[in-house]
Amino acid sequence: MIVTIDRLGHLGDGIAPGPIFVSGVLPGEVVEGTPDGDHLLHPKIITPSPDRVKPPCRHARACGGCQLQHASDAFVAAWKQEVVANALAGQGLTAPFQPLVTSPPGSRRRATLSARRTRSGVLIGFHARASDTLAEIPDCRLLHPGILAAFPGLQALVQAGGSRTTELSLQVTLTRGGPDVSVTGGKPLDSALRLDLARLVEAHGFSRLTWDGEIVALRDRPALTMGQATVIPPAGAFLQATAEGEQALLAAVRQALGPQKRVVDLFSGTGTFALPLAEAMDVHAVEGDAGMTQALDLAARNTPGLHRVTTETRDLFRRPLEPDELKPFSGAVIDPPRAGAEAQTGRLAASAIPVIAAVSCNPVTFARDARSLTDAGYRLDWVQVVDQFRWSTHVELVARLSR
């Protein structure tokens, strides 16, 4: 069967008339393959796109961590902005776009790896696309060299505490004290395993090891820098994937807010935005996870020279801040998870806050929430796409909305 690709879907698959879905292709390409329902298997490129490039990573074909290494950087940038524009158009919205910012290769400082023991040792990597097969990634072009350097230690942890019948999940975050590792799916802890794991943490320079939710070793503080502040996050806490992406998001948030006296940071996490913003304005940070709120509060209290920082642990899905609670603020930052923040956005729409910096990792839920704000009288001033998940279909953005 021969098809011509019309466009890419939001998961990066090529779509031909039918629709027929084809992986690893680009718009305009003529492709031959074996039909299987609405998919074309084993695609062979007959006419390549001028945007097709040789994947920079030798693991690209086997590994499912990246979906777009076969596309030029210019194509990916334009496509990601198009994804956002299409999501907005679906809600009847348009906006000017600021130039996209892309994180460089080898900058991913946080990753969740899969691992298991084998007869010959330990296998660590990412799953192949839509498969349980694990692909080894010793030369991964995405991960920060500090994470790749941690692989021998991670392999030792899996050898000590893994089994050949179950798969482990390894969340690794680079910190100033060394890699912070959180493992799930390992063997039950006993005194011998605890001792072995503690020795491995010391030997391989990990800062902290958490095993199925329990901290079993702390060699050094897993410290992160946010603005002028030092944050010690709880194990497994959210962190922007790259330092460059975090700085791009922060710069866009600062641009969106402009000079303010007092702002509210909704879904504040451990202070990605709240702590740097507090260098110039008062900030009230609201987060549903008590551990993250406590880490933010401790960092603020131990950082001289900041403006006033207050914190509140609150489930903003069930108990969003009400319009009367939003009255003291001249600006708001909102950075919800992928599901968006329909309830809290509705309260913002009913408030008189002059300017909102909206951060999102899901263009569809962002567009939905932006529509409720524009229906209430806000203007969508601009959108900034930030691509810190290089070569993936993941899209992040910051937008400015003002009354």
Q: What is the mean pLDDT of residues 272-287?
A: 98
Q: Let me know: does 295 contact 233? Beta carbons within 8 Å.
A: yes
Amino acid at 399: A
- Give the SS3 label for residue 203: helix
At 126-135, the pLDDT tens digits run 988 777 888 8
Q: In 109-213, where do the E strands start and end?
A: 110-118, 121-127, 134-136, 168-175, 178-184, 208-211
Total-model pTM:
0.94
What pLDDT shows up at residue 383? 98
Q: What size, in residues, is the chain? A: 403
> Per-residue pLDDT tens for 182-217?
999 999 999 999 999 999 999 999 999 999 999 999
Residues 345/372, Cβ–Cβ less than 8 Å: yes
pLDDT at 287 over 90: yes
For residue 161, what pLDDT is reported? 95
Tokens of 379: 């203007």
According to the model, what pLDDT value does residue 210 have?
A: 98
Confidence of residue 252 (pLDDT cuts 50, 70, 90): very high
Any idea which residue has 């298997």 for tokens? 41
How far apart are the C-alpha atoms of 356 and 350, rounded to whole Å? 13
Tokens of 55: 């994947």
Is 63 among the residues known to form the active site? Answer: no
Please write the tens of the pLDDT for every residue from 147-170: 999 999 999 999 999 988 889 999
pLDDT at 63 over 90: no
Q: What residues does 45 pair with on adjacent strands? A: 31
Catalytic residue among 63, 66, 140, 361: 361
pLDDT (tens digit per residue) in 305-316: 999 999 999 999
Q: Which two structure tokens, joined as six digits, stand for 258?
A: 């402009």
* pLDDT score recorded for residue 267: 98
- Positions of E strands within 261-339: 262-266, 282-287, 309-313, 331-334
Average pLDDT, the chain: 95
- Determine the Cα–Cα distance for residues 346 and 360; give it in Å rounded to an integer: 16
Rounded-to-integer distance, Cα 26 and Cα 12, Å: 9
pLDDT in tens, 2-21: 999 999 988 889 999 989 99
Q: How far apart are CA 366 and CA 88, in angstroms?
A: 8
Q: Which two tokens stand for residue 264?
A: 């509210």
Pairing of strands 396-402, 331-334: unpaired
Cα 357 to Cα 369: distance, rounded to the nearest angstrom: 13
Tokens representing 108? 């991913």
% the chain with pLDDT above 90 = 89
Average pLDDT, stretch 30-56?
A: 94
Give CA–CA dist 43/52, Å, rounded: 15
